[in-house]
Chain A
Amino acid sequence: MGDSETDLERDAQSRKAIDASARLPVVFMMASGVFWLLFGTVLAFIASFKLHSPWFLADQAWLTFGRVRPAHLNTMIYGWASMTGIGVLLWLQARLSRVRVPLRKSLIAVGVVWNFAVLAGTVAILAGGSTSVEWLEFPPWVAAILGALFVVVMAASVLTFVRRNVEHVYVSQWYLFGAVFWFPFLYIAGNLVIHGTGASGVAEATANWWYAHNVLGIWFTPIGLAAAYYFIPKVIGRPIHSYYLSLLGFWTLALFYNWAGTHHLIGGPIPLWVQTVGIVASMMMFIPVITVAINHHMTMVGHFDKLEYSPTLRFIVFGAMSYTLVSVQGSLTALRVVNETTHFTHYTIAHAHLGMYAFVTMVLFGSMYYILPRLTGREWSSGPLIRAHFWTTGLGMVLYWVGLTIGGWIQGQMLKNPDIAFIEIVQTTLPYLWSRSFAAALMSVGHFIFAYLVGRMLYEWATDRGKDRLPPMLGGDQ
């Protein structure tokens, strides 16, 4: 593409048209996502507090820990991360394919029904309809609705991709296109085999962890990586380091990630070979992870000063670095010698949040900071508040991870020693559980700040105000 004035203008006009087509479905998905983020945050805080103060809200069955915890997980996964993720996916694909978002009305309908389905599923969990199958707690009928909706999203995404107006397919496209095939298959097959009569006994547990690990591995991770691959070169204004690394990273992830889930069952009543496959696949994940880390880092090198100004870049780079960290941690945790200590402890909870929060959620925040102003034509209203959002969530996450990782490791070491009474272990973990509640409070503050920023932007958009505001810079004198 030449850089002449007319070319630039033509590109800009095409972006404008695409953004106009994406406006309603994507904004709706993201606004719904923010609603579920707040909903899930409240549930998270209640669950966290209950772990060290069991008398807290203990008189009602619907508020017992065993219901609030899965309600938190499911609203975050299927409400916040999936809805926002679909918004990011639709927008990125339209931009990268240079076509308008197709099936716009259907997508808005999908968003509306999706919200009701997640609400119904969450109420069902709180009311006692949970299946207690981790990551699949929604009753089967809710899962059936979500599965059908996914197919519509998949159709829109495939249409976008096959109609593309670009010759060269960029790496983000592979990940997004992969995700829209992977997830519907995963969700529908997982639900059918677990809630149907397909699996029973320990085979249901292997199916469960095949599914649950892959939700992160081949649904959120591809979206997160696609966003990072898009926004990093976009914001700093240089090409991604190496096409070959992109290619290697994509296919090795596709090959290895979906075999890793059974590392959640190491040592259990599962045939050795199933555990071994999970361990080997987890270790093999070093290949895509190192590849992607090098590719992102080499693209960033010399441009780290831009982190100071761009909210998008800050959150995305935080997320991309967390991806490397969480993956390396995950590979090592799969080794039997490490797993013997960490399995069944809070260490695993810290690890899961490093993946779903420090990586996925932070990347989604970063993406929204970029996408929403383009869709609404309004700038973010406050630089200091964006900074506050970044530091509360960022520091909160670090505190969360450090506290529970250390606490979980100690818990695991004590569990291995039969001379230590169980109750002593329970008591030892208490300070770490308090530190988690403190971290959760910090992160909650960040979420409410973010919700305010999004809400204000949408309000200004709806009431036709705030058009002339200049974009906030996060730091420096500019």
Chain B
Amino acid sequence: MSDSLRESQESPDEGDIHEMHDPIAREFERPEDGYQPIPLTLIFLFFALVGWGGWYLGAYSGDWRVDVFYPGDRATAAAEAQKESSGGTSPEELATLGKRVYAQCAACHQQNGKGVAGNFPPLDGTEWVTGPPQTLIRILLHGLEGPIQVAGNEYNAQMPAWGGQLSDRQIAAVLTYIRSAWSNQAGPVKPAQVESLRKESADRSASWTASELKSLESGQ
């Protein structure tokens, strides 16, 4: 018990026994420490945990490099480089890749390919998609503007050009995907087809219009 505190505190109100006893009745001068030992099992468990931590830290430190991002990152770099040079072009592989690329289209055309009535045309069940692949490739390379009839409804909006964003393989992939997704059952598109049309229209910068595309189609 402190001496200095006792000296410094104001003298208690002698007359009010109730008030003086109140703080005593209310509480003990706790808390105090007990001194039970730490169970050995617990100490053992904690050492095991620290051991695991050390192992994990060593195994997944990525050599403390700034360019290693996930477990196994560096070890697979060489394998990745090889895979990159030989991306598959079979219809199945293209459709798988195309499904990923399609995420970029789903903002307007929606995941189910039905579009948004009045704003964004559907891709499901329309001849624009299941018809000649050249038309589709052209739309993707350079975009489309002006009025267009899709599945019996008229739309009038700007479809952006994707030729600058997507590679030949990615365009072929996403087209292969939408031509076979939902109720569509048209054949695959090959990267080579995209490549040749890209060359053919290399100096074009304007978007296509629906009527231009129709006349190109009938001329083919």
Contact = CB atoms under 8 A, between A and B. Distances in A.
Contacts of A246: 33
A20 B38 CA distance: 39
Interface in A1-46: 1, 7-20
Contacts of A298: 36
Given A241-B36, A245-B38, A279 B56 contact: yes
A233 B35 CA distance: 14
B199 interface: no
Interface stretch (A133-141, A186-194, A283-291, A407-415): A283-291
Given A8-B24, A242-B35, A290 B2 contact: no
A15 to B, nearest CB: 5
A232 B31 CA distance: 8
A81 B33 CA distance: 28
Nearest to B60: A276
Interface string B1-43: 1101110111010000000110110111111111111100010
Residue among A13, A99, A290 having the largest count of chain B Cβ atoms under 10 Å = A13
Given A98-B2, A272-B68, A243 B24 contact: no
Contacts, number: 164
Nearest to B62: A272
The size class of the interface chain A forms with chain B is: 35 or more
A12 B112 contact: no
B64 interface: yes
A98 B4 CA distance: 10
A12 B33 CA distance: 20
Contact of B71 (A14, A237, A272): A272
A238 B34 CA distance: 9
**A-side binding surface: helix, strand, loop or mixed?**
helix
B44 interface: no
Residue among A240, A241, A277, A422 having the largest count of chain B Cβ atoms under 10 Å = A240
Given A14-B2, A283-B52, A240 B32 contact: yes
Contacts of A162: none
Given A16-B12, A239-B33, A242-B33, 18 more contacts: A8-B24, A9-B24, A10-B6, A11-B29, A14-B1, A17-B5, A100-B8, A165-B5, A237-B30, A240-B34, A242-B37, A243-B34, A246-B33, A273-B65, A276-B57, A298-B36, A418-B100, A421-B112
Interface of B: 1-2, 4-6, 8-10, 12, 20-21, 23-24, 26-38, 42, 46, 49-50, 52-53, 56-57, 60-62, 64-71, 73, 99-100, 103, 106, 110-112
Top 3 A-B residue pairs of the complex, sorted by shortest distance between their CB atoms: A165-B2, A421-B111, A272-B62
5 contacts: A10-B6, A12-B23, A13-B12, A244-B37, A276-B62
Interface of A: 1, 7-20, 98-100, 165-166, 168, 170-172, 229-230, 232-234, 237-246, 248, 267, 269-273, 276-277, 279-280, 283-284, 286-287, 290-291, 294, 298-299, 336, 374, 418, 421-424
